[in-house]
Structure 1
Amino acid sequence: MRSTLSRIAAVVTTGALALSLAACGSSSGESGAGKTLRVGTLSDGPPSIYLQNGVFTGYDNELLRDIAKREGFQVEFVGTEFAGLLASVANGKFDVGSSTISTTDARKKTVAFTNGYDVGYTTIVTKKDANLKDAAAFAGKRLGVVQASVQDEFAGKIAGASVVRFPDYNAGFAQLKNGTLDGWVVPKDIGQQYLDQNPAVPLEFGFTQPNKDTPSAFAVAKGNKELLAKLNDGIAKAIADGTVARLHAQFFKQAPLTPELEQGGAGLPVTNPGA
């Protein structure tokens, strides 16, 4: 079932800015002062990406707002489902994808990625005391995932597990609560937020795996090198002056920040094939 929130589209701009952004949303060389970029994002993945009082926010989106101010463009956030997000970036429907997108080799065939701005963990949330602490324990179990997410790929590699796909996080969480799923595969920060917001539901983290080799990054269309360069420049500046560290601490109360993203850190370079 489609979440009501995931159908909501909200417009948020970063204010009037004086610089020009060339080739945003295309590779034709078109440019314009204060150009507005359409950003595809999700509405139900706190603390990274979510809708609050009609405004898209979260770590990913607030970082992108900061980059926009630095680089001279505006952003319009539009709610979407993850399954079609990268294709919508590739075909120009969205200029940027902002959704805790892990930079896998398979995804690099569709879009180009900025350098990374976060690393995290994939975890399986289970009922409390289910004692499902390793991958083998999920043979014969039903695992819920957001369709086309890295967690979808992760779950598909668990031998004997039955993978059930949903359009958004809310739908999967609802099924876990009512007992029709044995596990719910999510980024750990998103799972933590749901546990914190639902203390009466007896849930816990089961099997967890780090994914530092595929950091989260913004997606842009292949060939849009001007936009890619501007986003990377903004990320580098936000790392250098401590903005990334500040935003991470604001939204991730319990998760540590990898040293590469601390103020003055080396960053998390991402290589795009053919770049």
Structure 2
Amino acid sequence: MRKILSTLAVVAAATAGLTACGSSDASGETLRVGTLTDAPPSIYLENGQFTGYDNELLRDIAKREGFKVDFVGTEFSGLLAKVAGGQLDIGSSTISATAARKKTVAFSNGYDTSYTTVVSKKGAALPAANSFAGKRVGVVQGSVQDEFAAKLAGAQVVRFPDYNAGFAQLKTGGLDGWVVPKDIGQKYLDQNPAVPLEFGYTVADKDTPSAFAVAKSNTELLKKINDGLAKAIADGTAARLHAQFFKEAPIAKELEKGGPGLPVANS
């Protein structure tokens, strides 16, 4: 009998080892979610807890769909590769669903739209795309803002692992401009009233909404996220969470209670 029980235990352990990144328990599967620590109000760490609009919305989706989430702080530059390789199950970091990124991962339907802007010291006069010749412009490496800055003629692009590092350089004069999602830029302006900053060149991101990233092969998880997101939009939860974290910016009309959502095609 002992030999039989021992054999069964070995088989059970081996079977458990076949699961991918997530683990299971009686309350549902726990999935590892890669996110950032310093991009409020979308994604940030507060009192040791990962929060923000993106992460609280994902928590709501997980509860609806019967799985749990374990957030892991990750540098953005390696996030999608880790999702594609199975080290992380989900990417939650205001990830714009661009055509280039769809070659690496699959995206859920969109849960937010945003603007990309350049934050600078007041009086820097950076209002247009042709204002950046010879200017040092900071970005988070691998972000959509990295792509944005690369199109600014003559700009010297300086890449950082996170938003805090770039902002620190902007404050001390190491950068002429700092390219960020406008909501994140607004948060830094609000939190640093003594620093004379302003918004410069700004562009709307209309066709690439923020979406959650999963491995291309994980169609079941993608369906769960999309189903949960649709329910959160339908009953107004997405709009409520957006209003909680974005005090001034209204949610996209498609994401209002009962709205049609923001479909994302992965092929």
In the alignment, is residue 208 of structure 1 matched against residue 202 of structure 2?
Answer: yes
Instruction: Please tell me whether the aligned partners of residues 24 and 30 of structure 2 are also in contact (alpha carbons under 8 angstroms).
Output: no
CA distance 1:32–1:233, change in 2 (3 Å): farther
**2:124 aligned with 1:144, yes or no?**
no
Partner secondary structure for residue 232 of structure 1: helix
Q: What CA distance in whole angstroms lies between the structure 1 residues aligned with 2:19 and 2:122? A: 47
2:248 equivalent in structure 1: 254
Counterpart contact for 1:37–1:75, Cα < 8 Å: yes
Contact 1:24/1:227, CA 8 A, preserved across alignment: no
Give % identity: 77
CA distance in 2, matches of 1:131, 1:172: 19
Instruction: Quote the residue 1:66 is aligned against.
Output: 60
- Aligned alpha-carbon RMSD (Å): 1.6
| Aligned positions, number | 249
CA distance in 1, matches of 2:125, 2:169: 19
2:79 corresponding residue in structure 1 = 85
Which segments of 5 or more consecutive residues in structure 2 lack a partner in the other structure?
A: 1-17
Runs of 4+ in 1 over 3 A off after TM superposition: 23-26, 30-33
Q: State the SS of the aligned residue for 1:116.
A: coil
Specify the SS of the correspondent of 2:248: coil
Flag the structure with higher helix content.
2
Which of the numbers 40, 45, 62 marks the counterpart of 1:46? 40
Match of 2:264 among 261, 266, 270: 270
1:153 Cα deviation after fit: 0.3
Match of 1:159? Answer: 153
Gaps of 5+ in 1: 1-22
Q: Deviations over 1:140-186 (max 9, x none)?
A: 11100000000000000111101000000000000000001000000
Deviation at 1:52, TM superposition (A): 0.1
Pair 1:24–1:254, CA change in 2 (3 A): farther
2:102 maps to 108
- Structure number with greater Rg is 2
Alignment of 1:4-19 (within 5 A): none
Q: Which residue of 2 aligns with 1:5?
A: none
Conserved in 2, the CA contact under 8 Å of 1:100 and 1:217? yes
Contact 1:25 1:37 in 2 (8 A): no
Distance 1:25 1:179 in 2: 45
| Cα offsets for 1:223-256 (capped at 9, x unmatched) | 1000000000000000000001000000001111
Change (3 A) 1:134 1:24: farther
How far the C-alpha of 1:32 sits from its partner, in A, is 6.8
Q: Is the alpha carbon distance of 1:199 and 1:62 closer, same or farther for their aligned partners in structure 2, counting shifts above 3 Å?
A: same
Matches of 1:138 and 1:255, distance apart in 2: 27
Deviation at 1:212, TM superposition (A): 1.5
The SS at the match of 1:64 is helix
Whole-Å separation in 2 of the counterparts to 1:149 and 1:138: 19
Partner Cα distance (1:154, 1:24) in 2: 38
Partner of 2:173: 179
Q: Supply the distance in 1 between the matched residues of 2:95 and 2:217 (Cα, whole angstroms).
A: 19
